[in-house]
Amino acid sequence: MPESPFTVPADLRNDLAIREISSTIVDVPTVRRHKLSSLSVTAQSYVIVELRLANGAQGIGEAATLGGPRWSEESVEAIKANIDAHLAPAVIGLGADRPELVAARMDAAAKRNNAAKAAIKTAVFDALARTLGVPVALLLGGQMRDSIPVLWTLASGDPAQEIEEAEAKLAARLHETFKVKIGAQPPEADMARLKRLSVALAGRARLIVDANQAWDETTATRCLPVLADLGVALVEQPLPAWNVAGMARLRAHPTVPLMADECVFTTHDMLQVAALGAADVVSLKLVKHAGLLNLKRVAAVAEAAGIGLYGGCLLESSIGAAAHLHAFAGLRELAWGCEHFGPQILTDDLVTQPLRFEEFRVYLPAGPGLGVTLDRDKLRRYART
């Protein structure tokens, strides 16, 4: 008879048992309006998970959303409700030294809910690593690097403002690659906007674009050669997430390398994209892959297919960004860098010591666990009442 996945080994350390999990919705204003193809935000919403073990160790995790349940199906309201009613009760009493068992219990308690599960799993790793006095990265295989090139996203939709913003980032030596959000306006208007940006920043910055599923295949076929002529280095998710075959057809006539984002949540999605040859690069995110271990699994499928890795984000604060950096730090290759500029687009952060951004890179915070400390005053200030 196959072993039950829920047989808890007898040697479970009682002091590592998960005793308490709480979740708080926070809304943190952004420094300017951030406009994607189908949504726009002036505040970023997260669910912050706080977890306590029997030994008193605490862990934190963050579930990010973008524009309510519009970037993906999860909203902060649904994330909090499902954590409180289903996911936390499923793992209370389990040992933090059994992250796979914690994951299996949550999968049995709720379908998908990937961002909610990711936040709890991050908090489990944080508490476990703090107990052991090691960084989370060490529990994931150890660090290949301690900093990662980090880009900035231009998403006001106003090219004059975007050029000014990019100039300021270049001058401060914070970012030299810029991701331009397109798809909120007609393609011709976006092409004109990109032309202005590429002329203004020529020779000094690299541009990539993210259409967030806005185009149909005909539009993409028409626009990709224009983007190639403008020197755009990468095009992210030009087609709807369902049209993976369409992405493969676009790649059959190479113009600009394509990056998969919303079409890759699970390892099965990644396998399909790889089998169809539908992407050159994949954007890795905790909210999509449901946690640190799964992120590395998706990366492994991509690596096996020769697909490049990119460290994606959903505008996380320093908490969520730190969690990603611990996972990214252990990947053998991260050829396309990362986009964890989230802490910089917020008017305030949720930790006592925000992440360090310097010389176009973001640094893995030092210290045990995630290496960041939740600022409880800030948590109270931005908590939704």
Query: Of 118, 123, 155, 287, which one interacts with ligand MUC (CB under 6 A)?
Result: 155
When the beta carbons of 60 and 334 are compared against Mg ion, the nearer one is 334
Per the annotation, the verdict on 50 as an active-site residue is no
Question: Is residue 190 within the footprint of ligand MUC (CB under 6 A)?
Answer: no
Distant-in-sequence, close-in-space partners of 24: CB < 8 Å, separation ≥ 6:
47, 48, 50, 80, 379, 383
Question: Is residue 62 within the footprint of ligand MUC (CB under 6 A)?
Answer: no
When the beta carbons of 17 and 39 are compared against ligand MUC, the nearer one is 39
- Active-site residue, selected from the candidate residues 181, 285, 288, 296: 181
Question: Is residue 314 within the footprint of ligand MUC (CB under 6 A)?
Answer: yes
Question: Is residue 278 within the footprint of ligand MUC (CB under 6 A)?
Answer: no
Question: Is residue 162 within the footprint of ligand MUC (CB under 6 A)?
Answer: no
User: Which of the stretches 104-112, 164-172, 291-299, 312-320 binds ligand MUC when contact is defined by CB under 6 A?
Assistant: 312-320
Question: Is residue 313 within the footprint of ligand MUC (CB under 6 A)?
Answer: yes
> Choosing among ligand MUC, Mg ion, none, which partner's interface includes residue 155 (Cβ < 5 to 8 Å by kind)?
ligand MUC
Geometric angle at alpha carbon 147, from 348 and 137, rounded to 5°: 90
The residue at minimum Cβ distance from Mg ion is 261
- Active-site residue, selected from the candidate residues 176, 316, 339, 378: 339
The minimum distance between CB 236 and Mg ion, in angstroms, equals 5
When the beta carbons of 51 and 205 are compared against ligand MUC, the nearer one is 205
Question: Is residue 362 within the footprint of ligand MUC (CB under 6 A)?
Answer: no
The minimum distance between CB 131 and ligand MUC, in angstroms, equals 32
When the beta carbons of 181 and 251 are compared against ligand MUC, the nearer one is 181
Per the annotation, the verdict on 339 as an active-site residue is yes
When the beta carbons of 103 and 118 are compared against ligand MUC, the nearer one is 118
Question: Is residue 210 within the footprint of ligand MUC (CB under 6 A)?
Answer: yes
Query: Of 261, 316, 349, 375, which one interacts with ligand MUC (CB under 6 A)?
Result: 261
Chain positions contacting ligand MUC, by CB under 6 A: 66, 153, 155, 181, 210, 212, 261, 312-315, 339
Active-site amino acid positions: 181, 339
